[in-house]
Structure 1
Amino acid sequence: MKLTFYGHATMAIELKGKKILFDPFFSGNPLAEGIDINDIAADYIFVTHGHGDHTSDLVAIAKHTGATVVAAIEITDWLQTQGVEKVHPMNHGAFISFEFGKVKGVNAIHSSSFNDGRYAGNPMGFVFVTDENSFYISGDTALTMDMQLIPLWAKLDFSVMPIGGNFTMDAGEAIIAADFVKCGKVVGIHYNTWGIIGIDVEKAKADFAAAGKTLILPGVGETIDI
């Protein structure tokens, strides 16, 4: 399975021949200034919540790729008013089957609104269970005991978690979250985009290693096998 990191919380995963994009934020993302959104391909776009640093290019990319957008119903309803036709509304709840596997929306402790203040539904994370890998995309979240439920549903191969603090967990709390979900391989996101979520990368990696875990921090635009 291949994962491409585009900075902040934006990434793409290739899964069973499908390209799945998460939280498209290129316009306004200082880490992604050299990336042309017209070069981004996607079959599906999963959106964890409505904040602009996760949705700035959602409409444009959904339209030019023809991807199906999977998100809270409040987000998909709004997308349809913007001319995006292919959507799959969801919320926290049972697993949903897709052609690449099944996905469950899970709790994230955060907020969710559009830039104009409009309510954007529940923020959420996603648990993917597939024939290739099973993984957890936490979305923007604080540490929560709800994460301890995730091993009941999936034996995870890796997790994607925020580590920048201030708006989300920091790296130390992500180590605890990794214990909660019983997965020692973590891809870090939502850090070093701006000073307010700046971290010491080497210290974060060392802290993970001291806890017997691996923190993976791909470069912007880098594709890794995971």
Structure 2
Amino acid sequence: MVKFNFYGHSCFSLTTENNIILVDPFFTDNPLTKVKPEDIDCQYILVSHAHFDHLGDAPAIAARTGATIIAIPEVLKLCGKTANTYGMNIGGSHSFPFGMVRMTLAIHSCGTAGGIACGFVINFKKGPTIYYSGDTALFSDMQIIGAKEKIDYAILPIGDNFTMGKEDAARSVQLLKAHNVIPVHYNTWPAIRQDPKLFKQIAESLIAVDVHIVEPGKSLELTKW
């Protein structure tokens, strides 16, 4: 069983029987969460890019917990020499105790010189295949990701302005052929104000998919796989 725990914006964790995988750990100054970074425990941290609302508290949480930060090398340089890190790059994959992680393209700026933004496909050993796009625009190669993987859950931004909006996110669901979708990266600030119910309506009208709206502070058991 894998549980999705949402902390608002694009910050979430994936909890399995033996591991907690924290993703884009933006707690400090996140207006959608009351959780403090010192309250978080995890063994792995995935970071999609170096903007403050995604790299967030990764270095501090890793230093306290001993968690391994997984990101591209340019982002890992921002995490300090004492952090446990594992570097990857676009198209590469690696097996971890919880399953296989493949790093995918994202169309977005990275937030650090020489770096590129990314997404992740996570194939859990005992659980679903999850695609987290990171911050991205709609791009046609999402079709390739969907053809290569049977995506049980896609975690996608819908906020517009800095990422794709609800219409493009719905179109990405078609390309990915995802069975379930969880929207993120919306309503944190006025610039990315969106109605997730409208996204759900658009996406579910285009393709046979279940859109799960998870409120910050809530969890969802990912049982459909």
- How far did residue 191 of structure 1 move? 0.3
Partners of 1:67 and 1:120 in 2: how far apart? 25
CA distance in 2, matches of 1:189, 1:147: 18
Q: Which whole-Å deviations, capped at 9, do the CAs of 1:94-149 have from their partners, x for residues lacking one? A: 32111111111111000011xxxx42611000011223111101000000011111
Change (3 A) 1:70 1:180: same
Does residue 217 (structure 1) correspond to residue 216 (structure 2)? The answer is: no
CA deviations 1:30-66 (Å, max 9, x no partner) are 111x212211111100000000011221111111111
* 1:96 lines up with 2:94 in the alignment: yes
Letter in 2 for 1:174: A
Normalising by structure 2, report the TM-score.
0.92
Identity of aligned residues (%): 37
Alignment of structure 1 residues 65-84 onto 2, 5 Å: 65-81=65-81, 83-84=82-83
**Partner amino acid, structure 1, of 2:60:** A
- Distance of 2:113 and 2:211 partners within structure 1: 33
Pairing 1:121–2:115 present: yes
Contact 1:45 1:68 in 2 (8 A): yes
Instruction: Look up the SS of the partner of 2:59 in the other structure.
Output: helix
Matched residue type, 1:109: I
Unaligned runs of 5+ in 2: none
| Corresponding residue for residue 135 of structure 1 | 130
The one-letter code matched in structure 2 to 1:60 is A
Runs of 4+ in 1 over 6 A off after TM superposition: none
SS state at 1:175 partner: helix
The Cα of 1:214 is off from its aligned counterpart by 2.3
TM-score by length of 1: 0.92
Q: Is contact 2:91–2:105 with CA below 8 Å preserved after alignment?
A: no
**Aligned partners of 1:208 and 1:215 also within 8 Å:** yes
- 8 Å Cα contact 2:20-2:44 kept in structure 1: yes
Give 5+ residue unaligned stretches, structure 1.
Answer: none
Separation of aligned partners in 2, 1:183 and 1:23:
22
* 1-structure distance, mates of 2:74, 2:36: 28
SS in 2 for 1:188: strand
Output the CA distance in 1 between the equivalents of 2:53 and 2:128: 27
Corresponding residue of 1:151: 146
Contact 1:75 1:120 in 2 (8 A): no
Count of equivalent residues:
219
CA RMSD of aligned residues (A): 1.4
Post-superposition shift, 1:15? 3.1
